[in-house]
């Protein structure tokens, strides 16, 4: 489970920007909270609001760039190759990422700074017995280890200047870094791009029980789909054909059925279908879902249903978390979200840099209509179109 993420000097983010999943002392909706460890409770969901071009997507992009450098394509770089470095403006300073998380009951803090072809610093700490302990640190090519020093020094000497030690050490199955690495590999789920039907097809193929779960969610979503079948494509190298079955009642009260290809369904139905497989997989594995503009093409109630599945402790029993961006003001409801679950991104008028802050910093009253407050500009993070009148109810 993620506790906190921070980024500095990435895209529109100049100074350090932080998003925290650590629950505040707010007593509202306490049943939704996750038990991170003995010392802290964590939020299952964080929503990030902001105007277009405010930089909210860049916060998510930063976290997933970090993942890419640990377990993705950027972890496979050869010596001298360029890293996915995208600093603020014309800055020549390194970009910095840091994430704290809990994996298999152990807390970790991992971070690094880097530029185009060079890892400047990297560090990994853990708390195996409730006490902080260094696993490794790296500063301009100088490493420090606490366990298995000789072997890890050998691995460090094999690690080029443009590659993370957390990535390279796991190429050689280093036991000291294995669990910290697996969180990125198994728990951090990139859903920034539009979901593909293949994710749901894979879940359907797992078992009849998993297919039944998916059909149940399609029923709850009121999409009119009673069954789903998969046909092999007639042409080579083509994706399978997904058929949805709809039940209708005829004039004589007899039941009939008709089928549609998935691509003949509405954009919202396609989006929900493509999303639900990955959603259920995350609920089964306790993953962190990272989703940009969660509401695209979907009715607000469908969006709300997806969020409810993570927010509801009777459904979310494995510690699944969700970080998403949105423009959907209907979700700004203190009977649905806690105050510490709502965050904002705003671009500075002076520097054009993204600033990130929580609703908590405004100390809204319990039961306050924060939707109206947001649309009226009380919390910032909205466009002021034409400099005219702000929204009024």
Residues 43, 86 within the same domain: yes
Q: How high does pLDDT run on average in the chain?
A: 95
| pLDDT tens-digit readout, 147-160 | 999 999 999 999 99
Identify the band that residue 193 occupies on the pLDDT scale cut at 50, 70 and 90: confident
Domains held by the chain: number: 2
**DSSP string covering 130-171:** SS-EEEEEEETTEEEESSSHHHHHHHHHHS-TTS-HHHHHHH
201 and 183 in one domain?
no
Least confident of 85-94, 144-153, 384-393: 384-393
Q: Is the pLDDT score of 389 beyond 60?
A: no
Kindly state whether residues 179 and 106 are assigned to the same domain: yes
Q: Are residues 49 and 167 in the same domain?
A: yes
Q: What's residue 388's pLDDT?
A: 52
Report the run of H or E that residue 97 belongs to, with start and end: strand 95-103
Q: Averaged over 302-313, what is the pLDDT? A: 98
Domain of 328 in residue numbering reads as 1-192+292-393
Among 258, 284, 310, give the residue marking a domain's end: 284
Beta partners for residue 271, in sequence order: none
Domain boundary among 284, 313, 337: 284
d(CA 61, CA 55): 10
Residues 6+ apart with CB under 8 A from 169: 152, 155, 159, 176, 177, 181
Whether 279 and 298 map to the same domain: the answer is no
What is the tens place of the pLDDT at every residue in 211-259?
999 999 999 999 999 999 998 877 778 888 999 999 988 888 888 999 9
Domain termination site, one of 284, 313, 341: 284
CATH number at residue 124: 3.40.50.300
pLDDT per residue as tens digits for the range 335-359:
999 999 999 999 999 999 999 999 9
pLDDT given at position 392: 62
Residues 68 and 163 in one domain: yes
The residue-averaged pLDDT of 320-325 equals 99
Check pLDDT > 70 for residue 54. yes
Task: Mark whether 303 and 247 lie in a shared domain.
Answer: no
Site of tokens 């904002």: 344
Nearest partner of 136 among 162, 104, 159, 103, judged by Cα: 159
Q: Specify whether the CB–CB gap between 22 and 4 falls below 8 A.
A: yes
Confidence tier at 391 by pLDDT (50, 70, 90): low
What per-residue confidence (pLDDT) applies to 387?
58
pLDDT at position 390 is 56
């Amino acid at each position: 489970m993620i506790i906190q993420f921070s980024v500095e000097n990435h895209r529109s983010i100049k100074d350090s920007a932080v998003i925290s999943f650590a629950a505040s002392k707010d007593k509202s909706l306490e049943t939704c909270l996750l038990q991170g460890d003995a010392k802290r409770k964590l939020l299952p969901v964080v929503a990030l609001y902001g105007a277009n071009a405010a930089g909210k997507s860049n916060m998510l992009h930063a976290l997933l760039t970090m993942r890419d450098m640990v377990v993705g394509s950027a972890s496979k770089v050869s010596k001298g190759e360029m890293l996915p470095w995208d600093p603020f403006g014309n800055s020549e300073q390194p970009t910095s990422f840091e994430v704290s998380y809990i994996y298999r009951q152990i807390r970790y803090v991992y971070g690094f700074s880097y530029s185009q072809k060079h890892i400047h610093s990297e560090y990994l700490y853990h708390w195996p017995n409730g006490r902080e302990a260094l696993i490794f640190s790296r500063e301009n090519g100088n490493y420090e280890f606490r366990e298995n020093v000789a072997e890890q020094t050998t691995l460090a000497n094999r690690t080029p200047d443009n590659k993370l030690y957390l990535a390279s050490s796991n190429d050689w199955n280093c036991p000291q870094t294995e669990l910290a690495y697996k969180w990125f590999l198994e728990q951090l789920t990139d859903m920034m791009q539009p979901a593909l039907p293949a994710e749901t097809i894979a879940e359907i193929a797992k078992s009849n029980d998993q297919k039944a779960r998916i059909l149940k969610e399609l029923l709850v979503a009121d999409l009119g789909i009673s069954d789903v079948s998969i046909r092999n494509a007639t042409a080579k190298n083509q994706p399978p054909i997904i058929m949805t079955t709809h039940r209708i009642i005829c004039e004589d009260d007899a039941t009939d059925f008709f089928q549609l290809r998935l691509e003949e369904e509405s954009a919202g139905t396609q989006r929900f279908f493509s999303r639900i497989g990955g959603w259920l997989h995350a609920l089964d594995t306790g993953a962190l879902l990272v989703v940009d503009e969660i509401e695209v093409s979907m009715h607000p109630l469908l969006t709300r249903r997806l969020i409810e599945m993570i927010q509801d402790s009777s459904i979310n029993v494995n510690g699944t978390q969700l970080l998403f961006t949105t423009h959907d003001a209907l979700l700004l409801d203190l009977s649905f979200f806690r105050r510490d679950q709502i965050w904002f991104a705003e671009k500075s008028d002076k520097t054009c840099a993204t600033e990130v802050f929580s609703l908590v910093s405004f100390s809204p009253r319990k039961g306050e209509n924060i939707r109206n407050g947001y649309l009226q500009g009380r919390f910032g993070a909205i466009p002021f179109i034409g400099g005219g009148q702000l929204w009024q109810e």
